[in-house]
Each structure stands twice: as structure tokens, then as C-alpha cells.
Structure 1
Amino acid sequence: MPPLRPQTLMFMLFGDFVLDRGVCVFSGSVIDVFDRLGITSHATRSTLARMVNRGLLRRQRHGRRMYFGLTDRSTALLHDGRTRIWRTGAVNDAWDGDWTLLCFSLPESWQRQRHDLRSQLAWSGFGPLQGGLWIAPGSVPAQDIVTGLGLSAHARVFHARAGSLTDIAGMVRDAYDLTGLASRYQEFLSRWEDRPPFTDPLAARLSLIAEWLDAIRRDPRLPVEHLPADWPAVRAQKLFRDLEQQYLEPSRELATGLLDLRPAEIS
């Protein structure tokens, strides 16, 4: 898999040691942590500056030292990621049989609107079944998507269950790229199953969580009962949870000695 972006790793660091703690972290501490990940001080400083410019981090000065804290925007993103990783997970083994269906019909000239709609549907777990009909397992707030894009007049949302004669496994194969989904989990397993890429527990934990989030973020969480019997997400999720627990305490001990934290100023 391609190298993780420093911004992704920065989010993992702040999500682990800053989120919901009312603190900010000294830039020099961040540089020390990123050095363990093989990222230069120049790249780390550039990443911090870019994230400030994008409204993802905020600066706070104490004497001659510059500290960085989370913004409302980055806090919301990290809470969403936390839910996706630790609560939702990658293996849908408690599916209730419900589907969300969205059908749409847009004028041929609306190429941009069609692209935007398809992109947001795919991000939300939908797959194209046929023509303008997309499906997603479970209850998905699809109306929010079409309303946000100003397309409410061109789309309809339904919730339904498949009939007894429907080949659900075949429908899933038709609507989703199972090969592509499986390959992301196979890549994760190949990197972490036998010889993890980092021996340093702090670097390992941040990379592990970042790579796991990258693997699951576009997974529509298809019902595992209708997936191939050897679906790699099952083994990958177990590996992630085992390693995450293995790295948890050693990484916290290292972080305690490395991170200079201060109370965040209320803006």
C-alpha cells in the first residue's frame, strides 16, 4: 500500500492523546514522535502549518514554544473516525435484513451533479445495482445526501427487504467491487500479520490505526453472511484489535515521556 500521508498520522496522534482531554501539544513533541515514524522535522512542521491553514488545528503560544490543539472541525472528524474504528467495525455480522434503496434520474447534461451524487453514495456504502438504482445495507440517511446536493426533486429513497427468491449474494456481487474491497484487507494482513513494519510501539500503534482506518473507511459493511466464506475483513479485524491492545500500554508510556501537553485555552 502507498505510504501514509503525514496528515493522516497527525490525526492519529491527536486522536489518541489530545482528543477530549482539553489539551494542546508542543510542536517539538510532535517532531519527536514523527521522527520515530521516519518523517523529517521539515515535513512535520509543514504538515502542522497546512492543517492550521485548513482549519484542522489551531496554534497556542506559551513563552517561546508553540503548541497545537484541535478545532471543532477536526474534533468532529476524529469522533467520526473513532466511531468507525471502535464501534462500527468492519464485520457486519448483525445485519437485520433491511436495505436502503435510492433511485435517481438526472438530465444527461448534469455530469458534475451525477459525479458528485455517485461519489457521496459510494462513500456512504451504496453500490449501483442497475441504472439509477443504488442500494446499501441497513438504514442510511440517503435523503440527507440528495438534499445536501440540491437533488431532492430528482431522487427517491426507500427502505425494503429482499424477497425470498432474491439471490442476495449475487446482488451484492453485482453492486459492489468485492475484489477491490478484499484486496485492502489482504494488504493490511500482509503488512501486519507476520512481521509488523515497526518495532517501536508508539510508531506501530499510530501506523496501525491509520492503516486500519484507510482499509475500512470505504467499506460499505456488507452483511458477512452473504460474502465469501473466507472474507478477509474478519481475520483483519481480529488482527487489528489484538495488535491495538498489544501496543496500547507501551505506546502510552512512551507518549508520557515524549509529549509536552498544556491545557488548551478556551477561545
Structure 2
Amino acid sequence: MAARGSQDLLLTLIGTYFLGQKRPIPSGFLVKLLQEFDVTAVGARNGLSRLAGRGFLEVHRPGRNTYYHLSPEAHVHHAERLSEIVNFGDNPEPWDGTWTVVLFSVPENLRAHRHVVRSRLSAMRFAVLYDGVWVRPGTLREQARKALGDFDVPKLTLLSGAVVDAAFGGIDPVSVFSLEALRDKYDQFIEASRTLRADIRAGRVGSAEALRQRARVMHQWRFFPDHDPLLPAGLLPHDWPVQRAREAFLEIYDGLSELADHRFRTLLTEFSADLAGEVRSMTSVELLDLHLPARGLGPLTGRT
């Protein structure tokens, strides 16, 4: 597994099982946990070191032992991200027929700014209509202003509530969103999940396999919140597969939770029986409205 892949897997597992948990996690357990996913001990330790360097994990070394836990920023980040991933596709946004448009021009000597502006617009699910013109359906005045307002870009204009009266040359704003490629990704996800879903219903999945498959499907599903432009229902093609894909994801995520949790706690018990007795993952229902007062965190708002 590539270095960044092991880091992503670590974040997925730690965020799933230790969200809100402030007790230190033995490094030996995290190394053994990753070995369940065919990550070598060296690869696991390198992944932990890099995550600590990126600020996601905090390190404690009492004596000769090493422990980790999520940083405060990572707790908030994971709370938002888990909620976003699990709830993605639940309720399509209504559309009032308007568009938000961002127009900008960045000179060559500020090329780095251009890259950051494009990255932030992509993260907000804008798409390129023309060079320097990005669009997204709906009114996102405040979100876009907040995301783009801290740049020293000499020419940047934000338009909200825009209406398309005509599109010459075949460049309708809807056409710039790559929906066919995305449909293929959804269809592949649904098809790839069929055998596992049948095995879950028949009780043919063991606890070790449940832990691996649940983390795998979480990693695969997170692609869609990052790449689906979330167009309103009225702009989507007929029989758009997001709901069927979401049902497949939830059947696996919730259907494997008890078995995966059992395997996780079994591995952790060898290193800390007390901590093993406290950890469990959240169901999709619990993540619908994520609040963690019982686990030491107040109400959280934001994204992972």
C-alpha cells in the first residue's frame, strides 16, 4: 500500500473508532491494526509519523512507550467528514433556477494563487464554464465569499442569483458537469457491492473480514462526496443512481458494524482492555445529527 494510502486508512479507522475519545491509543495497537490490511509494520509506523507531522495526531511518549490520539482540530474535522460521508445523497437540494458565478483573472506572477482559487472552487463543487468563469447551481453567496475573500486576487467577482437566458455555441452550464463519468462510478460501486451484500444477508462474513470490508467501502464511498457536484434533482438525468448507491453503502456500513467492532476491540484488548471496553463505531443513524457531549466534546459543526 502506498504511503498516502496507509495514512488515509489510518485516519478512516481512528476517526471511525476514536472520535471524541481523548485517551491515548497505543502505537503498537495501531501498527497491528494496519497489519490486518496488509500494511507492514514499517509502513504503519511511517504513516503514524507522517500524520503526526501533518497535525492530525498528537504523540505522547511516557517512558519507552508511544501513544497517539486525534488532535482537537482532527476531532472536528472527522466529525464533519463522517457526517458528510454517511449522510451524502440523503436529501437532494431543491433548486430555485439560479446560479452562482465566480469570475477571476490572476496574473502569471501570482500563479500559486490561481491554483488555490481553483482548488477551493472545485472543493465547493463549482465547474469551469469558460477560462476564469466557474459556476454552480443555487445561491452560495456567503460560502463563496468566505472561501475566496482572503486572497489577494486583483480581479475576482462573485455573482449570485444569476439566471441563464440563453446559451450560444452549446455551452449550457449543466453540460460542464461530467455526469456520465460519475454515473459509471456509481454503477461500478453498486455492482461491486452485490456479492458482499449477499454475504452479509446470509451471515457469511467473519469479524476480521468485516473490519476490512467496512473500511474499504467507507474509503470507496468517500469518493462521491468529493466528486459529485450535487446538482439539484431537476438538473439530473433520469434514474440517477445516487440513491441506489447510498442504499448499498449503508447496508454494508451498518450491516458490518457489530462484527467489525468486535474484531477491532479484540485487537485492542491485547494492548489496553480498558480502552477496548470504551470504543465502538457510530451507526449511520447516530451520524445523522452528530453531537458528542457524552464523549467529552460539545456540539460540533463543520466537515472530514
> Taking structure 2 as the reference length, what is the TM-score of the superposition?
0.73
Aligned partner of 1:192 in structure 2 is 193
Q: Secondary structure at the match of 2:227?
A: coil
Letter of the structure 1 residue corresponding to residue 179 of structure 2:
L
Letter of the structure 2 residue corresponding to residue 10 of structure 1:
L
Unaligned runs of 5+ in 1: none
Aligned partner of 1:246 in structure 2 is 255
1:103–1:133 Cα contact (<8 Å) kept = yes
1:66 & 1:3 partners in 2: Cα distance?
21
Aligned partner of 1:13 in structure 2 is 13
1:201–1:251 Cα contact (<8 Å) kept = yes
Letter of the structure 1 residue corresponding to residue 94 of structure 2:
W
Aligned partner of 2:222 in structure 1 is 213
Distance apart, 1:240 and its partner CA: 0.6
Aligned partner of 1:148 in structure 2 is 150
1:104–1:154 Cα contact (<8 Å) kept = yes
Aligned partner of 1:22 in structure 2 is 22
Task: Give aligned pairs, total.
Answer: 259
2:90 & 2:231 partners in 1: Cα distance?
8
1:239 & 1:4 partners in 2: Cα distance?
27
Q: How does 1:72-221 map to 2 (within 5 A)?
A: 72-87=72-87, 89-90=88-89, 93-97=92-96, 98-107=98-107, 110-140=110-140, 141-151=143-153, 153-160=154-161, 162=163, 170-173=172-175, 175-195=176-196, 200-221=209-230
Higher mean C-alpha displacement, 199-208 vs 5-14 = 199-208
Q: Secondary structure at the match of 1:217?
A: helix
Distance apart, 1:21 and its partner CA: 2.1
Distance apart, 1:20 and its partner CA: 0.8
Q: How does 1:28-67 map to 2 (within 5 A)?
A: 28-62=28-62, 64-67=64-67
Larger strand percent: 1
Change (3 A) 1:191 1:23: farther
2:133 & 2:38 partners in 1: Cα distance?
46
Aligned partner of 2:235 in structure 1 is 226
1:185 & 1:23 partners in 2: Cα distance?
38
2:53 & 2:119 partners in 1: Cα distance?
26
| CA-atom RMSD in angstroms | 3.2
Distance apart, 1:190 and its partner CA: 4.1
Aligned partner of 1:236 in structure 2 is 245
1:4–1:211 Cα contact (<8 Å) kept = no
Change (3 A) 1:77 1:64: same
2:99–2:135 Cα contact (<8 Å) kept = yes
Change (3 A) 1:82 1:138: farther
1:74 & 1:14 partners in 2: Cα distance?
10
1:138 & 1:185 partners in 2: Cα distance?
24
2:3–2:43 Cα contact (<8 Å) kept = no
1:39 & 1:176 partners in 2: Cα distance?
37
Change (3 A) 1:36 1:206: same
Cα deviation code 1:69-125 (max 9, x no counterpart) = 0113322321231232133x1366232325322122334664433333222211211
1:92–1:222 Cα contact (<8 Å) kept = no
Distance apart, 1:195 and its partner CA: 4.2
1:3 & 1:226 partners in 2: Cα distance?
39
1:111 & 1:63 partners in 2: Cα distance?
48
Distance apart, 1:236 and its partner CA: 1.5
1:17 & 1:37 partners in 2: Cα distance?
16
Unaligned runs of 5+ in 2: 200-204, 279-304
Letter of the structure 2 residue corresponding to residue 150 of structure 1:
D
